[in-house]
Amino acid sequence: MSSRSPCGLPHVDAMRPAVLVIAGPVTRSEVTGWCDAVRRALESTRAGVVECDVAGIGPPGLAAVDLLARMQLTARRTGGRIRLRDPDPALCALLDLVGLRFEVRGQPEQREPPFDVEEEVEAGDPAG
């Protein structure tokens, strides 16, 4: 029996985002370890994104905001980004309050309007 994978599958696996599961509560002392994990995940895949499962991050607070901001900064510096999976609405509200925007799995990207949403244009408004 051969242990080799069928031709083409390693490429597909390399494009699949890595998933990091963050269990809380998080502390400042964990930031470096999580940032290293993001860097390693981006370097080992070609997906350009790391999914962070934050369902178990615990009560949203400044430690969680700091961790996610630093992880996103690390991802950007490595040429990628992070995407949140299963964030609590309170965490989303806190991130929004401090001005941090994250892509959330299953939601449209921030820069694109959701399907079937059209912008209203007033007559005489210049195009642009």
Question: Residue-wise pLDDT tens for the chain (128 aa)?
Answer: 434 444 444 444 557 889 999 998 888 899 999 999 999 999 998 899 999 999 999 888 999 999 999 999 999 999 999 999 999 999 999 999 999 999 998 664 444 444 444 555 566 655 55
Q: Does domain 12-104 have CATH number 3.30.750.24?
A: yes
Cβ count within 10 A of residue 88: 16
- Reading phi first (left if > 0) and then psi (alpha if -120 to 50, else beta), residue 67 is in alpha
Among the listed residues 61, 71, 73, the one whose alpha carbon sits nearest the alpha carbon of residue 98: 61
